[in-house]
Chains A and B, each alone.
Chain A
Amino acid sequence: MLDYTSVVPVNSTEPAPPDDLLDADQAVIDRVLAGDRNAFGILIERYSDPLYRHAYGMTGSADVAEDILQVSFIKAYHHLAEVRGRFDAWVFRIVANGCKDWLKNIRRSHLSYEEDDQPSSFETPEQELDRGELRRDLDGALGALPDSLREAFVMKHVEGRSYEEMAVLLEATVGALKMRVHRAREALQKLLEERYS
């Protein structure tokens, strides 16, 4: 008997920032622009985790995700005066574009995804082996998806964002994003079902 409760549902872990957090972001931005460079660390601390997960999900590489995050935050720092509206949405788009640029480049180079060396919390060698295979296969299957489908899938299933939040960040409609996620799932189903179902 399948335990349905363990499959999903996906609950959003990245709710839209409340207004007071947006005001707090603006206050930090004002401090940085006034010369308090270290205050930028507050914004890094506040938003780096979801952005790192996005970059990792898109590239399949911890090292590349780190590089993209670094370059993106440095770029954000140098263009901070240009922020209009939500800082988190603005910096997300910098990271998302960094991921897409990297994917374009790696496809031209015919390189494959790298393996990450994230520590394991599985208990037995069999579980570890099984998990490692699924991880590799999932990375490979994600790598076979068009960028827009992978991006939508990663934001929904890895980052746990709601469709409404995704719509704000990607400037797309909820309906279009649902369609992308559904297409991504059906492609992954095809790619992975023979081995894992």
Chain B
Amino acid sequence: MMHDPLDPRNETRTPSAEPRVPAEAEATDREVPIESRKLSTPVHAFLDGEPVAESSLAGAERELELWKRISAETGRRRRMVTPAHVPQQILAKLSDD
């Protein structure tokens, strides 16, 4: 029989126990080496929304151009809302119980 992780009948985690493993430990366990390219501290600070002198970003135009594009896409996703039928479906399923 297929195990459906989205089927609550198959649920082994209980909300009262979540998270069972401290998030910090869980994240450390899963960390694996990944390829990356170093970004400067001012670029990270800027992307974190901290005040950064424009002069400290000199030379990072290429990186910031990429992040401008990524930000346009993440900004679009930030405006997403739950499809209208979803809350109704949830309440309907609760009524079926």
A: interface residue count bin: 35 or more
Given contacts A41-B91, A57-B77, contact A148 B27 (CB under 8 A): yes
Least Cβ–Cβ distance between A191 and chain B, in angstroms: 8
Interface pair B19/A7, CB less than 8 Å apart? no
> Is A192 on the interface with B (CB-CB < 8 A)?
yes
CA distance A77 to B82 in the complex (A): 18
Describe A's contact surface by its main secondary structure.
helix
Interface pair A49/B81, CB less than 8 Å apart? yes
Given contacts A6-B68, A52-B82, A189-B66, contact A183 B15 (CB under 8 A): no
Interface pair B64/A192, CB less than 8 Å apart? no
Chain A residues lying within 8 Å of B83, measured Cβ to Cβ, are 52, 62, 66
Binary contact readout B66-97 vs A (1 if CB under 8 angstroms, 0 otherwise): 11111101101110111100110111011100
Interface pair A170/B91, CB less than 8 Å apart? no
Chain A residues lying within 8 Å of B70, measured Cβ to Cβ, are 134, 138, 157, 188, 192
B: interface residue count bin: 35 or more
CA distance A112 to B14 in the complex (A): 28
B residues sitting closer than 8 Å to A (CB atoms) are 5-8, 11, 13-16, 18-19, 22-24, 26-27, 30-32, 34-39, 44, 46-50, 54, 57, 61-71, 73-74, 76-78, 80-83, 86-87, 89-91, 93-95
Residue pairs across A and B with Cβ atoms less than 8 A apart, 28 shown, are: A4-B64, A8-B47, A40-B91, A49-B81, A49-B82, A51-B82, A52-B81, A52-B86, A56-B77, A68-B6, A73-B90, A78-B8, A79-B15, A79-B16, A83-B15, A84-B16, A134-B70, A138-B73, A147-B30, A170-B23, A172-B27, A173-B24, A182-B39, A182-B44, A186-B37, A187-B35, A193-B62, A197-B65
A residues sitting closer than 8 Å to B (CB atoms) are 2-4, 6-11, 13, 37-38, 40-41, 44-45, 48-49, 51-53, 56-57, 62, 66-71, 73-79, 82-84, 90, 93-94, 97-98, 101-102, 104-105, 118, 121, 131, 134-135, 138, 144-149, 156-160, 163, 170-173, 176, 178, 180-183, 185-193, 196-197
